[in-house]
Chains A and B, each alone.
Chain A
């Protein structure tokens, strides 16, 4: 099945080349969306034989993924994979989620950091993710082991059901909420995420403000 990987990128001029190289070496077709970066991210993207898109202004990862997904559907892709631009997601795991979707009846495959025994997380990250998981399971009532996972694959024909509205990181929880509410078949599979000094210093999602926003959205 025709598959593409959508990579949203914001101010990733130093790391985007590595992830695009590794994906192209693994024979993936890629749509890279520059979310209004202030650095040379888009110039770096243009050096590679990928479909490049660019937001004129920074809107957020959710918006970049939405644009990349709709572009993928317009270009005829049948399976769409979302992955991060900072190299956290290994091409072998991207291959894993793609194959899991192709070989199964599920409509969505989500990579989970909590199902893999070998996953090593920095303490701060582990704590935040555990809190996010508890919040997601107890408050939002979402039955997922890794609610903030950025690696997911889904069939293009379910996009209309999965069309998230959040422009920011809240899209992660919104997508999971939609999967649960609309009873979309899904499976979680274990993945290992790369953490280095650069990625651990990045903003850890979700922020408390986003958690509050998700809770308000749930109530309303």
Chain B
């Protein structure tokens, strides 16, 4: 293990440090009840996966071989793009919903006030 740590790259060290900080902050939010246990667990597993992949890049290469994608980094790019597109789609849908609700609220206030003043 110590030998492995000695061969770690700077990039891997930075990634692990950042992940550690994020997990720690999430844990503090969990303790303050700002985050549910399930959400914390999901994010913890995701960040653990990212940490494992950065420590042992061979994992992602094997996964890419199994899926027939090519290189591990190609798989990460495809997966990353897919996740980003999905998040943008979800955000757009949420914005449309919020705008509709916002219009509805303003309309209700407008009609209530107008009827009260009449």
Chain A contacts to B: CB under 8 angstroms: 33, 51-57, 59, 63, 66-67, 70-71, 74-75, 165, 167
Contacts and interface: CB of A to CB of B under 8 A. Distances in A.
A70 B107 contact: yes
A54 B110 CA distance: 6
Contact of B113 (A54, A59, A75, A165): A54
B114 interface: yes
29 contacts: A33-B110, A51-B118, A52-B114, A53-B110, A53-B111, A53-B113, A54-B110, A54-B113, A54-B114, A55-B106, A55-B110, A56-B109, A56-B110, A59-B103, A63-B103, A63-B107, A66-B107, A67-B110, A67-B111, A70-B111, A71-B110, A71-B114, A71-B115, A74-B111, A74-B115, A75-B118, A165-B100, A167-B99, A167-B103
A71 B111 contact: yes
A59 B114 contact: no
Interface string B86-118: 000000000000011001001101110111011
A59 B106 contact: yes
| Interface residue range, chain B | 10 to 19
- The prevalent SS among residues of A at the interface is mixed
B16 to A, nearest CB: 44
A33 B107 CA distance: 11
Interface in B5-47: none
